[in-house]
């Protein structure tokens, strides 16, 4: 036993008159089990051959071992049918045939062994129905293990009379009908009926289980259970440690009575249809190690009481409709290894307390929410983390250099946010990184050369940012299918790369276009066009030479309500630029931006203002173009009165908006302004480029819905930027579009005089 003996078993194995026990388990024996053909029945009482590589069928001659008490053939490669003769062993009390390739129906003789106390035939391919009288014909049975087979039909009601039953495992079969009322089994410790085709009826079986005072494990997952979970679930044994309800169709609220099960360590409720809020009584389960309520329809906020579950290692609440802020109390769960809150409607910032849980090692997933602000530097505390995803939020600021301290990271997903600045040099320390996605942000600068030295990197997505310069060569960049860099208009490559021009072709292309134009255009048109092109070319050169209006040389700071208050001089009327349907725009100055900024404050007391904030963030997160207004950062906080506060910070446009230049009568207090012909052409081209990008080049085609002169902003060089995306709508639903923002995309929108007639007709 537990050696490395090998070869075939000797054919004379059972030709003995004195051996009582043959224990050869956990070795490397191969070949068939030799037949027991001795003239005189051997006195063998214990035959243990499990954990080998034995093959062939079970010899029917084993039925000749009339003194056998326990037969263990588990974990071999035996196949074929179970011989009927095994069922005639008069003294057999334990039969273990688990984990083989046995098939066919089970001989009735096995279910008529009155001496049998333990029968284990799980993980085979046995079929047929369980005998209706099994509870009577196995009167001494204590352990019945039959999972992962092909049994069908109902669970025999006679099992309710197997009063010695301790472990009953019937999972992973095709059993049908209701679950019997097993409350008549006072010694029952473990009940497993998961992954069958059972129905819950009126859930009376749960109430009956309150009579099983020794019950420690209850597996009800993967059936056809419907309806509401009864409050009687809280009356189950106080010894219950494991409860599986996952993969059913259970609806209604989670009963707060679950909080009565004080010894519960594992609770799986995921993949159901639970609604309502998570009851605070969950916090009573102080011994809980695993809590999964993912993929339900839960709503409301995450209760602070979750922080009382200090022994939690796994917390999964993803794919629900949870809202509000992530409670800082989760930081008290200092043994967490997995935290998944993805695909909800959570807002606010990422609590620093969560980033101080150094035990987080397997996963931190906060993706597909509405989180705003920057990533705190405390992220560097997660030195054991393997997977981090904060994608598809409204996070802003620079990517913290502290992320480079998470040296065990293999998967880093940060796409679809508002991050600015460059890829931190500290990422060179992520030597084990396999997948890195920072696409669809506002990142800029050169693509770091150290990415070519990350030997395990097999997926890199830098697309739809503002990177410039030459694409590095070697490393992951040598595999075109592993890298995505499209949507970075200022990149060039030394070799042909999809979506990127060749570095050597740029000057040649410009020269060829000028020569061709000179040959085919008449002298008069040439003169006019050259003047216009010269003005536009000069403007583009000046724009390219300036720093990106959304970037800063230092680290981007998280914007608080207090900073907004200070920047606007306490919302001074002297700083008020304009008022709109959903709020006001103030001029201000902030440390995170070199020049003045425009701060759009949303009046959340107005119906639709919150949706307008979400719509504008959603649109600007997905749209990045030189003629679309850039977001410096957003503020999602609360004011001193505790009310929600939302604001978006943009670069201040020194030349105001186009309406101020075109309609002097409506802006009598402003200085007299006129546009030259070349300026009018340049502004028109800028707006046309922006609209063309939104409609035809944006990953998710976007309709502005309120394009008018007052929403076209002009910077110091008279470069035009399309702004105010509060009414914008995507042409079709996309995975990145939040359901919460869809309300602000519905119906006819825009300003009178500027709504396209065909848009109204298409609704």
293's tokens: 């309520």
Q: How many CA atoms lie within 13 A of 199 on its CB side?
A: 7
β-bridge pairing 101-105 and 501-502:
unpaired
Phi, psi of 500 (to 5 degrees): -130, 135
Which element (helix H / strand E) includes 637? strand 633-638
Give the three-state DSSP class for 489: coil
Note if 70 is an active site residue: no
Distance CA(427)–CA(315), nearest Å, equals: 28
3-state secondary structure of 183: helix
- Could you tell me which residues come within 8 angstroms of residue 47 by beta carbon, excluding any fewer than 6 positions away? 21, 22, 62, 65, 68, 70, 71, 72
Cα(196)–Cα(209) distance, integer angstroms? 19
Which two tokens mark 193? 């009926």
- DSSP secondary structure, 563-598, as one string: HHHHHTTTT-GGGEEEE-SSEEEEEE--TTSSS-EE
Q: Which of 308, 686, 706, 715 is catalytic?
A: 706
What are residue 95's DSSP bridge partners? Answer: 71, 119
Rounded CA gap, 736 and 742, in Å?
Answer: 11
Euclidean distance between CA atoms 724 and 698, whole angstroms: 17
Structure tokens at 411: 């998967």
Crossing angle for the helix pair 523-545 and 506-520, to the nearest 10 degrees: 160
Cβ atoms of 505 and 460 within 8 Å: the answer is no
Give helix then strand counts, H and E, for the chain.
9, 51
Question: Angle of helix 677-692 relative to helix 523-545, nearest 10 degrees?
Answer: 70
- Count the neighbouring beta carbons within 10 Å of the beta carbon of residue 50: 23
Nearest to 176 by CA among 157, 199, 193: 199
Determine whether 281 is exposed, middle or buried from the number of CB atoms within 10 Å of its CB (0-12, 13-18, 19+): middle
Residues 6+ apart with CB under 8 A from 666: 659
CA 688 remoteness from chain centre: 38
DSSP state of 358: T
What gap in Å lies between CA 88 and CA 665, rounded to an integer?
A: 107
Residue 314, both tokens: 């796994």
For CA atoms 659, 661, 665, 670, give the dihedral sign. Answer: positive
Residue 441 structure tokens: 């942000």
- Measured CA to CA, the distance from residue 59 to residue 35 in angstroms comes to 6
In whole angstroms, what is the distance from residue 619 CA to residue 607 CA? 20
Residue 299 contacts residue 274 (beta carbons within 8 Å): no
Rounded to whole angstroms, how far apart are CA atoms 627 and 719?
Answer: 8
Question: Contact 62/38 with Cβ under 8 angstroms?
Answer: no
The answer to whether the CB of 104 falls within 8 A of the CB of 110 is no
Token pair, residue 218, equals 């209850």
User: Which of the 8 DSSP states describes residue 688?
Assistant: H
Taking Cα atoms as reference points, which of 80, 64, 62, 60 lies closest to residue 72? 62
User: Active-site residue numbers?
Assistant: 706
């Amino acid at each position: 036993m537990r050696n490395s003996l090998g070869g075939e078993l000797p054919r004379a194995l059972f030709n003995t008159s004195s051996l009582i026990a043959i224990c050869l388990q956990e070795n490397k024996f191969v070949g068939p089990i030799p037949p027991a053909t001795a003239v005189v029945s051997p006195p063998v009482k214990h035959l243990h051959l499990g954990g080998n590589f034995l093959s062939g069928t079970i010899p029917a001659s084993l039925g000749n071992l009339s003194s056998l008490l326990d037969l263990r053939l588990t974990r071999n490669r035996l196949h074929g049918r179970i011989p009927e003769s095994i069922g005639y062993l008069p003294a057999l009390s334990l039969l273990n045939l688990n984990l083989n390739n046995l098939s066919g129906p089970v001989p009735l003789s096995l279910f008529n062994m009155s001496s049998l106390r333990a029968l284990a035939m799980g993980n085979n391919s046995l079929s047929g129905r369980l005998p209706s009288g099994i509870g009577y014909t196995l009167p001494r049975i204590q352990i019945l293990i039959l999972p992962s087979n092909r049994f069908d039909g109902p669970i025999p009601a006679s099992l309710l009379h197997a009063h010695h039953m301790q472990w009953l495992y019937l999972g992973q079969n095709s059993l049908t009908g209701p679950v019997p009322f097993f409350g008549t089994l006072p010694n029952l410790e473990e009940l497993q009926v998961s992954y069958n085709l059972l129905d819950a009826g009126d859930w009376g079986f749960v109430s009956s289980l309150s009579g099983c005072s020794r019950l420690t494990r209850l597996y009800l997952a993967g059936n056809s259970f419907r309806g509401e979970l009864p409050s009687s679930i809280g009356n189950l044994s106080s010894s219950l440690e494991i409860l599986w309800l996952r993969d059913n169709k259970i609806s209604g609220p989670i009963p707060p009575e679950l909080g009565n099960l004080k010894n519960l360590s594992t609770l799986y409720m995921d993949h159901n249809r639970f609604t309502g809020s998570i009851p605070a009584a969950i916090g009573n389960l102080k011994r809980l190690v695993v809590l999964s309520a993912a993929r339900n329809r839960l709503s409301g906020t995450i209760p602070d009481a979750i922080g009382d579950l200090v022994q939690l290692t796994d917390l999964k609440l993803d794919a629900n409709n949870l809202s509000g802020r992530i409670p800082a109390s989760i930081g008290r769960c200092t043994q967490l290894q997995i935290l998944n809150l993805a695909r909800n409607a959570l807002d606010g910032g990422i609590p620093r307390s969560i980033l101080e849980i150094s035990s987080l090692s397997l996963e931190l997933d906060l993706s597909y929410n509405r989180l705003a602000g920057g990533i705190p530097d405390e992220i560097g505390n997660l030195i054991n983390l393997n997977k981090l995803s904060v994608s598809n939020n409204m996070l802003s600021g620079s990517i913290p250099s502290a992320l480079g301290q998470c040296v065990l990271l293999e998967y880093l997903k940060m796409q679809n946010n508002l991050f600015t600045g460059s890829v931190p040099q500290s990422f060179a320390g992520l030597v084990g990184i396999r997948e890195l996605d920072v696409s669809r942000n506002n990142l800029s600068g050169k693509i770091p050369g150290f990415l070519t030295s990350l030997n395990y990197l097999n997926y890199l997505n830098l697309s739809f940012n503002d990177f410039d310069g030459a694409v590095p060569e070697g490393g992951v960049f040598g595999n075109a299918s592993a890298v995505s860099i499209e949507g970075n208009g200022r990149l060039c490559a030394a070799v042909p790369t999809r979506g990127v021009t060749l570095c050597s072709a740029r000057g040649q292309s410009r020269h060829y276009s000028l020569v061709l134009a000179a040959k085919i255009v008449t002298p008069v048109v040439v003169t006019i066009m050259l003047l216009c092109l010269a003005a536009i070319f000069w403007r583009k050169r000046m724009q390219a030479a300036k720093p990106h209006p959304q970037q800063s040389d230092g680290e981007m700071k998280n914007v608080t309500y207090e900073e907004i208050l200070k920047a606007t001089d306490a919302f001074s009327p002297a700083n008020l630029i304009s008022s709109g349907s959903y709020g006001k725009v103030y001029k201000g100055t902030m440390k995170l931006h070199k020049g003045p900024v425009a701060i759009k404050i949303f009046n959340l007391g107005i119906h639709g203002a919150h949706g307008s904030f979400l719509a504008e963030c959603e649109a600007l997160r997905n749209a990045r173009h030189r003629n679309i207004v850039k977001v410096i950062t957003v503020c999602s906080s609360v004011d001193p009165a505790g009310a929600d506060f939302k604001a978006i910070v943009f670069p201040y446009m020194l030349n105001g908006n186009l309406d101020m230049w075109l309609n002097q009568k409506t802006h009598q207090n402003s200085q007299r302004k006129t546009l030259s012909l070349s300026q009018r052409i340049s502004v028109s081209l800028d707006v046309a480029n922006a609209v063309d990008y939104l409609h035809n080049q944006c990953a998710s085609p976007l309709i502005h819905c309120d394009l008018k002169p007052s929403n076209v902003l002009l910077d110091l060089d008279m470069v035009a930027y399309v702004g105010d995306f509060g009414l914008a709508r995507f042409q079709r639903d996309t995975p990145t579009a939040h359901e919460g923002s869809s309300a602000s995309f519905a119906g006819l929108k825009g300003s009178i005089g500027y709504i396209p007639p065909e848009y109204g007709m298409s609704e």
